[in-house]
Chain A
C-alpha cells in the first residue's frame, strides 16, 4: 500500500468493569531489512517499531515490534474499563513517521 492506514475496531460503549477487546490493523510493508533486490543489494529495513495504546492519556498497552512481524501488522489486546474516555493509538515508523488515531468510549 502506498499510504499507511491505521484501522481500529473497538466497542463504542461498555459497562463499568467490562473487559473489552481492541483490535488494530495497520497497512505497512514492514520491510525486514533482510531481503535483497534483483541486483543483490539489501533492501533497507523499514518497519513499524513501536505501538502504544493510551486511554485517557495513560498507557494501557505497549509493544516493541521487531522485523519478524510480517506486513500489515495486526495487534489485539483486552482491557478492563472503569470510566468513560478516549483511546489514542500510536504507531511509530523507523523513518520517524507517527501514525495515530483516536476513538472515544462510553462507559456506564
Chain B
C-alpha cells in the first residue's frame, strides 16, 4: 500500500514511507489519509525517542471511524469548530474585545499555535497549554469570565484554534525552564498507579497495536486532541482523556489543568513530535 498525497520535506525530517502493515496491526487498514493530513506514520523527531516510528491514533481505528475524520462535513467535531469560529469574533467581557480584536484572522495568527503547546509562560513561571492560554487571554485581556475546562465554549475555541495548525508538525520546547516539567511528565508516564497498578507505558508503549478487550491500543499520541470521541458523543479535551485512562486503571485521576496533567501533556507532546496536528480528530 502506498500513501497518496504530495511529498513534503519538513525541517524536522518527517518522511513518507510505504505503508507496510506490521504484524501487530490489523490488515486491510483504510488507504486514505485524514483530511488535510499528509501522513499518519512518521519517524519521530525527538532525540532519544523509544520508538523508531510513531503512529497517529487514527491508524489504530476501524476504517469506519477513520472515514468519519476524512470529510470535514461528516466529522462531527466540526459542529464545535463552527461554534468556535463564531465565538472568535464575538465580543465578551468588560474590555469590549473579541479574540479577533487582537488576533485578527485566526488562519494567520494561529497557524502554528496549536502545534507548540504547552509552552512556557514567563509571567506565571510555568508552562501553559491551549485551554489555559485562552482563559488567560479572556481574563487578562478581555476582562471576561474564564470558560470551564470541558464547556462547549472552550472546546469549540480549542478545536477551532487547533484546526488552524492542522498539518503542522508537533514541536514543543523541553529544555531550559521546561526541563523539570518534561522530567515530571516522563516520570508520570512510566510510573505504575492505581488498583490495576499500571503506567501509561504499559498500554501505549509495551502493547500498542494489540487488543485490550474490544479496543485496539494506540501509542497514546495527542496530535488529534481535542477529539470527537464516539464514546463521548461529543468533542473532548486531552485532560478529560487522561482522567479516563486513570479511571480505567482504578487510580485517582489528577484534575484537569493540574500541574501533573500539564507535565504529562508536555511529555506526550514530545513523544508525538514529527506527527502533524490532526485536530479535531475522530476516535472511538
A: residues with CB less than 8 A from B are: 1-2, 5, 7, 9, 23, 25, 27, 29-30, 70-72, 74
Do A27 and B74 touch across chains, with their CB atoms under 8 A apart?
no
Residues of A within 8 A of B80 (CB): 1
B79 within 8 A of A: yes
9 extra interface residue pairs, beta carbon distance < 8 Å, beyond A1-B152, A5-B82: A1-B79, A2-B152, A7-B82, A25-B73, A27-B79, A29-B233, A70-B233, A72-B233, A74-B76
B184 within 8 A of A: no
In the complex, what distance in Å separates the CA atom of A74 from the CA atom of B228?
Answer: 14
Do B233 and A1 touch across chains, with their CB atoms under 8 A apart?
no
Q: List 27 A-B contacts (CB under 8 A).
A: A1-B79, A1-B80, A1-B152, A1-B234, A2-B152, A5-B79, A5-B82, A7-B73, A7-B79, A7-B82, A23-B73, A23-B74, A25-B73, A25-B74, A25-B79, A27-B76, A27-B79, A29-B233, A30-B233, A70-B230, A70-B233, A71-B76, A71-B234, A72-B76, A72-B233, A74-B74, A74-B76
Interface size of B in residues (CB-CB distance below 8 Å): 11
Do B83 and A1 touch across chains, with their CB atoms under 8 A apart?
yes
Minimum CB–CB distance from B249 to chain A (whole Å) comes to 22
The A contact surface, by secondary structure, is: loop
In the complex, what distance in Å separates the CA atom of A9 from the CA atom of B73?
Answer: 7
Residues of B within 8 A of A27 (CB): 76, 79
A-B contact count (CB 8 A): 32
Of the candidates A1, A5, A25, the one having the most CB atoms from chain B within 10 angstroms of its own CB is: A1
In the complex, what distance in Å separates the CA atom of A2 from the CA atom of B87?
Answer: 14
In the complex, what distance in Å separates the CA atom of A100 from the CA atom of B279?
Answer: 29
Minimum CB–CB distance from A34 to chain B (whole Å) comes to 14
Question: Among residues 41 to 92 in chain B, which have CB atoms less than 8 Å away from a CB atom of chain A?
Answer: 73-74, 76, 79-80, 82-83
Contact of B79 among A9, A70, A72 (CB under 8 A): A72
Nearest 10 CB-CB pairs, A to B? A71-B233, A27-B79, A72-B76, A9-B73, A23-B73, A74-B74, A1-B79, A1-B152, A2-B152, A70-B233
Residues of B within 8 A of A72 (CB): 76, 79, 233
Least CB separation from A73: chain B residue: B76
Minimum CB–CB distance from A2 to chain B (whole Å) comes to 6
In the complex, what distance in Å separates the CA atom of A67 from the CA atom of B114?
Answer: 37
In the complex, what distance in Å separates the CA atom of A5 from the CA atom of B230?
Answer: 19
Least CB separation from A24: chain B residue: B73
Do A25 and B76 touch across chains, with their CB atoms under 8 A apart?
yes
Minimum CB–CB distance from A35 to chain B (whole Å) comes to 11
